[in-house]
Structure 1
Amino acid sequence: MILTVTPNPSLDRTYEVPSLDRGEVIRATGERMDPGGKGVNVSRAVAAAGRRTVAVLPLGGAPGALVADLLDTQGIEVAPVPVAGATRSNIALAEADGVLTKINAPGPELSEAERELLLETVRQQSRDASWIACCGSLPRGLAPSWYAELVARAHAAGARIALDTSGPALLAALRERPDVVKPNAEELSEAVGRPLATVGDAVKAAEELREMGARAVLASLGADGQLLVSGEGAWFGSARVDAVRSNVGAGDSSLAGFLIAGGSGPDALASAVAHGAAAVQLPGSVMPKPGDLDPASVTVTARIPADRALKEPVS
Structure 2
Amino acid sequence: MNVLIASLNTAIERLLLVDQQRPGTVHRLLNDKTLAGGKGVNVARVLRQLQPQLENAPAPLLLGFLGGATGRLCRELLAEEGLDGRWCEIAASTRICEVVTEQKAPDKASVYNAIGPAIQPEEYRRLWSMLAAELPRASAVVCTGSLAQNLTPDEYGRWISLAREHGVISLLDTHGAALLQSAAALPDIIKINRDELRQANAETADDLPGHWLAQGVRCVIITDGQQPTQALTPDGNFTIAAPAVATLSAVGSGDAYCAGLIASLLARPQSGWAAHLTLAAACGAANAASSTAGLATDVSLHVLQQRCAVRAVRSPA
TM-score, normalization by structure 1: 0.89
In the alignment, does 2:102 pair up with 1:95?
Answer: yes
| Alignment match, 1:9 | 10
Structure 1 residues 290, 53: closer, same or farther in 2, change over 3 A? farther
Structure 1 residues 146, 195: closer, same or farther in 2, change over 3 A? closer
- Cα deviation, 1:38-87, whole Å, max 9, x if unaligned, reads 11110000001124211112000111111111111212111111111000
SS at match of 2:265: coil
SS at match of 1:144: coil
For 2:292, the aligned partner's letter is G
SS at match of 1:92: strand
SS at match of 1:302: strand
Structure 1 residues 4, 286: closer, same or farther in 2, change over 3 A? same
Asked if the contact 2:154/2:182 (under 8 Å) is kept, the reply is: yes
Aligned-partner Cα distance in 2 for 1:212–1:127: 25
Structure 1 residues 297, 211: closer, same or farther in 2, change over 3 A? same
Q: Quote the offset at 1:113 in angstroms.
A: 1.6
Aligned-partner Cα distance in 2 for 1:58–1:248: 22
| Alignment match, 1:36 | 37
| Alignment match, 2:71 | 64
SS at match of 1:262: helix
In the alignment, does 2:231 pair up with 1:228?
Answer: yes
Map 1:78-157; keep pairs closer than 5 Å. 78-96=85-103, 97-98=105-106, 99-157=108-166
Aligned-partner Cα distance in 1 for 2:297–2:137: 24
| Alignment match, 2:54 | none
Q: Which of residues 278, 288, 308 is equivalent to 1:298?
A: 308
Q: Quote the offset at 1:18 in angstroms.
A: 1.1
In structure 2, the gaps of 5 or more residues are: 52-56, 267-271
| Alignment match, 2:287 | 279
Asked if the contact 1:16/1:95 (under 8 Å) is kept, the reply is: yes
Aligned-partner Cα distance in 2 for 1:85–1:193: 35
In the alignment, does 2:22 pair up with 1:21?
Answer: yes
SS at match of 1:177: coil
For 2:174, the aligned partner's letter is T
Map 1:156-171; keep pairs closer than 5 Å. 156-171=165-180
Aligned-partner Cα distance in 1 for 2:77–2:11: 12
SS at match of 1:120: helix
The farther-off stretch of 75-84 and 258-267 is 258-267
Map 1:191-230; keep pairs closer than 5 Å. 191-194=200-203, 205-230=208-233
Aligned-partner Cα distance in 2 for 1:304–1:225: 16
